[in-house]
Structures are given as C-alpha cells and as structure tokens.
Structure 1
Amino acid sequence: MSISAQDVKELRDATGVGMMDCKKALEEADGDFDEAIELLRKKGQKVVKKRADRKAEEGLVVTSIAADQRLGAIVEVNCETDFVARNDDFSSFADRVADLVLQERPDDLDALHALDYNGERTVQEELVRMTGRIGEKLAIRRFELIEASDDGHIVSYIHPGSKLGVLVDVTGDDEQAPLDVAMQIAALNPVAVSRDEVPESVQEKEKEIARESAISDGKPEHVIENIVNGKLNRYFQDNVLLEQDFVKDASTSVQDMLDDADVSVHGFVRYALGN
C-alpha cells in the first residue's frame, strides 16, 4: 500500500526514529501504526542484543533535587561514545531518569526499569527505543538517593562535562560553603566525612601496610607503633573530608572552613563516571 509522507512524519514524531526506518516499518506493517511501532521496538531489541558485548563506558552523571531540598537523587547513565553523551536526546533521557528516581524512589535497577517513563512506555522500553534509534549500547548503571538529616538540606554539584557529580547533606544558612565542600568532595574524593566513619577494616589494612613497611625498613621495634599511628593519622588527613586541606586555601582545613561558615556536613554521595 502507499505510505504518505504525513504517516511517516507522525510515526517519526511518536517514536523519534529516523524517517527511512519509519517508512520501512509502515510498509512492513501495511500502514498499521501500532504494528509499525512494535516493529521499531523489535528493531531496537535486536540492536540491544547485537551490541550486548560492547562496552558503554561514556555517559553522564546527573542529579535531581526536591523542591524543598530534603531529598536528592544521583544517576549514572552510560553510552559507548562521548558524541552520544553530548546528544540532547540522551541528556534529556538521563535527566528524566533522575527525576523519576527522585519522585518514585525505586528499590533497585529492576524497579527503575519498570517505572512509567512518559505514559506510553516504561523506562526499559524507552531505553530500548533509544538504543534502536541511536545505534549504541545504552544502560542505566546505578543510582542513589540521599535524604537530608534533621534541619539539613541537600546540595548538588555537577562538574563541567557531567562526568562527575556530588550530593551533600548539610546544615547551615551559608550559601557558598556547601558548594565549596561539594567541590572539595568532587576534587579529592574523600572516603568519609569523619575518621569515625572510616571502616575498621580499612584502618586495619592501612596499619598493616605501615607496620610491614616500617619492619622492612629496619625500624626498631619500640618505635614501630608510633610510626604506624603517625601514618594512620596521615591517611585520615588525606582521605577524611573534615581533615583534608581545603582546596581553595591549603592553609586551613575543611573543618575550619565549615566552622567559620557555621555549616555542618552529615553525609555525601560522589559518582565519577565508570568508577
């Protein structure tokens, strides 16, 4: 049967798939609009299967914050190339997924994939549709929600390029200090807010490394524990947020900067693309 240009355009508008693919789908479906959509979805599923062994290591880290700043979501969405990561459609999809995580609070990726995306498709179906249209392996790798502590609020920082994102739970009225501490977390990747939050297993590992190093260097037995404790303290200074040197002013610590601004940090989430 004859397929009109208007029919092709309507299918293109409904699916976002290229004009030639839409025309072929309509021809194969004898003009049946719904069947053509299913054919296009099947094409997308084939692309997913075909590219299943490909590596999706590019992408975006995006965040979404509730209007009252009491809850924040961070999501990593992957693709194969940086070119696609800079595509407006891909970026819009990532932002929409972050908003859905914030609104629906899914328990895991399976629950996220099953969420309604736009009233017509689930998140998984939209992922398949975009895979078919873009021609790259796409994936939602991970997500996390962080809820503000009592009297706290969530602050977001996305590093230029959207490859690195941070959510921080803070209390205090100062506007600049929370952003500064979010940038600090992005730059120096602390393992915890305070040394009390560093897992005992991590501390023991650091002490073991320091002890073995001191022994191999031939240090006297009576000074080894002092060396071990000194190196553990140095580990805290390098890797615990409040004890790190402030990136904007190395003469002061993050703790001192926050004290001056009357701001406290209660927790954070940091996502770096692929890590």
Structure 2
Amino acid sequence: MAISAQDVKQLKEMTNCGMMDCKRALEQTGGDFDAAVKYLREQGLAKAAKKATRIAAEGLVYTKIDPAKKVGAIVEVNSETDFAAKSERFVEFVDMVAQTVIDNDVADVDALLGVKMSGTEETVQDILTERIATISENIKIRRFARMEGDLFSYIHDGGGSIIGTLLKLEADDVNDDAVKQCAKDICLQIAASAPQFVSQADVPANVIAEEKEVQMALAQKENETAAKPKPLNVLEKIVEGRMKKFTEEICLMDEPYIKNDEMTVAKYVASLGKNIKVVQFVRYEKGEGLQKKEENFADEVASMMK
C-alpha cells in the first residue's frame, strides 16, 4: 500500500524516530500504526512511550466537582486557537458541559450532545452550534469522564500545556487535612508523571504480554551482535528486569514520589496512616494526540519519499 507523507509525519511525532525509519516501519506493517510502533521498538529505534504524544491542539481541560452529589467530571473541549479558548463564552461553555456531565450519566460524546445542557432547555448540540457561530471557530467536545465518590482535582496551566487530573480516594476521614494534602500531592504526581494505571493489578494481561514480547525481541536482537552471546535463561532474566521497570513506570503506586524520590507513592500513602486508598484517576492533557496543520514539515517529509 502507498504510505502518505502525513502517515510518516504522524509516526515520527509518536516515536521521535527518523522519517525514513518511520516510512520503512509503515511499509513493513501495511500502514498499521500500532504494529509500526512495535516494529520500531523491536528494532531498538523507539523507546516505550507513555500515552501522550506531541501536543498540538488548543482548547481547555477542565474539572468540576459537585460535593453535595459526590460526583465530578473532567472534560476536554478543543478550539482552533488559544485566543478563542481564553474567551469568556468558551470558558462558560466548557463549564456548562462539565456540569451537564455531572448531571447526566451518559456513555459517550454522541450521547452527551443529545441531552439538555444543564440550566437550559436546549441540547448540548444546539448550544455547541450557537457557540461555533458566535465565537467563529470550530469547537469540539473531545472527551469526558465522570466519577462518583470522594473526589479531588487539579489543573496545571502553564508553558502552553493544560493538564487536568480527577482523583477518587477512600480513607477513614476524607475531610482530614492530612488526607486532603495527600490527595493534592497525588494529583500533582499524576499530572507530572502521566501514569497509566493505579497499580500493577490494574494492568491488563495483554499489555504485559505485548511488552514482554517486545522486550524479548529487543534482547535477542542485542544478543545477536554481542561479543559473547548470552543463553536464553539469561535473556529471560534481563527481560524480567526490564518488565519490572516497565510496570514501575506506568503504575502510579510504584512510581518514585515526586517530593521524596527515596520512597514510592505507595510508601508515601502508607506512611500517613489514614487508611488511604487510591481508587481511580483520570488524567487529560490538552490536545493529547492531536495535531495542528504544519504544511512546511509535511512538504519536507513528502520530498524525502520521492
């Protein structure tokens, strides 16, 4: 199949590999991006990446919690420009969307568009259409998550990035000052390190199996060029060590605590002695995985493919 310049560009942004390496990977995998990333990693050309890729879209990540209902929402709404995202009518719209998510337990964005916007008699879609017309930019409700329970949130807005976290905790007394401080610290940790799961028990078996396959393929490739090739049992131990590091990097509770890297997050939480349990979290970063149009770079890629 023909591999487009845009496909090569997208894979490069996902992996930070060279353009020709990305083109070759897409050709080898029939244009399958997940397979192409795996191919590059097996060749030792790309490192395992966390969920976020290059950030390239404007808009807002926003959190809202209703303490009385014990329900909260985190939403991402995208716009074409940062100027529009900072406008009063855009921010008001995002807040209304978050409140509507709190008030309506809907499955996805399509379902959300069909319900009445909280505080109005119009649907979310109707008000979205009106805001697109008045703000004069395309606006898209990209994603949302809704949680119930004792919730905490944090928004980081700086350096061009907006990162939001919504966290659910359980504790003997969630109103205890030490518990509240712990929740704040964990929200900061999630924003800074972008973990994918709470603990190793939450990592799906297929994620572990695929990573183990990648690490074994990489270890075997390294072994082929080694001066003294290692036996299979030694390679398996090497892979076991890499898998331990992999799970530590993607699991919140196994990460080094950002305020004291001599202990893990799990040890920090346990040290407080408040019977605190991290139940669930969601982390959104503005524009995660989206791209702005970059004509010059695309032209450069196209020229290399001729």
TM over 0.5: yes
Q: What is the 5 A alignment of 1:31-180?
A: 57-68=57-68, 70-117=70-117, 118-148=119-149, 153-160=150-157, 163-172=162-171, 173=176, 174-180=179-185
Q: Distance in 1 between matches of 2:116 and 2:258?
A: 42
Q: Distance in 1 between matches of 2:266 and 2:245?
A: 16
Q: Distance in 2 between matches of 1:188 and 1:155?
A: 17
1:268 counterpart letter in structure 2: F
User: Which residue is 1:26 aligned to?
Assistant: none
2:101 counterpart letter in structure 1: V
User: Which residue is 1:223 aligned to?
Assistant: 234
SS in 2 for 1:217: helix
For each residue in 1:59-106, what CA deviation from the matched residue of structure 2 results, as whole angstroms up to 9, or x when unmatched?
Answer: 101112122473211111111000111111100110111011101222
1:141 counterpart letter in structure 2: R
Pick aligned residue for 2:245 from 234, 242, 261: 234
User: Which residue is 2:42 aligned to?
Assistant: none
Pick aligned residue for 2:258 from 244, 247, 259: 247
Of structures 1 and 2, the one with the larger relative CO (CA 8 A, separation 6+) is 2
1:80 counterpart letter in structure 2: E
SS in 2 for 1:77: strand
Q: Which runs of 5+ in 1 are unaligned?
A: 1-55
1:197 aligns with 2:202: yes
Return 109-118 or 137-146, whichever deviates more. 109-118
Return 86-95 or 109-118, whichever deviates more. 109-118
1:204 counterpart letter in structure 2: A
2:197 counterpart letter in structure 1: A
RMSD: 1.7
Q: Is the 8 A contact 1:146 1:269 kept in 2?
A: no
Shift of 1:141: 0.9
Shift of 1:199: 1.1
Shift of 1:147: 2.1
SS in 2 for 1:160: strand
SS in 2 for 1:73: strand
Q: Distance in 1 between matches of 2:69 and 2:215?
A: 42
Pick aligned residue for 1:264 from 270, 277, 281: 277
Shift of 1:244: 0.2
SS in 2 for 1:175: helix
User: Which residue is 2:187 aligned to?
Assistant: 182
User: Which residue is 2:211 aligned to?
Assistant: 206
1:175 counterpart letter in structure 2: K
Name the % identity: 38
Q: Is the 8 A contact 1:72 1:154 kept in 2?
A: yes
Q: 1:115 to 1:225 in 2, by over 3 A?
A: same
Q: Distance in 2 between matches of 1:229 and 1:222?
A: 11
SS in 2 for 1:168: strand
Q: Distance in 2 between matches of 1:121 and 1:64?
A: 21
For each residue in 1:224-250, what CA deviation from the matched residue of structure 2 results, as whole angstroms up to 9, or x when unmatched?
Answer: 111111111011111110000011111
Q: 1:231 to 1:69 in 2, by over 3 A?
A: farther
Q: 1:120 to 1:264 in 2, by over 3 A?
A: closer
Q: Distance in 1 between matches of 2:251 and 2:120?
A: 45
TM-score (norm 1): 0.74
1:232 counterpart letter in structure 2: M
1:133 counterpart letter in structure 2: T
1:239 counterpart letter in structure 2: I
For each residue in 1:161-218, what CA deviation from the matched residue of structure 2 results, as whole angstroms up to 9, or x when unmatched?
Answer: 5721111111223111111111111111111111111111111122112212221222
Larger radius of gyration: 1
Q: Distance in 1 between matches of 2:245 and 2:69?
A: 35
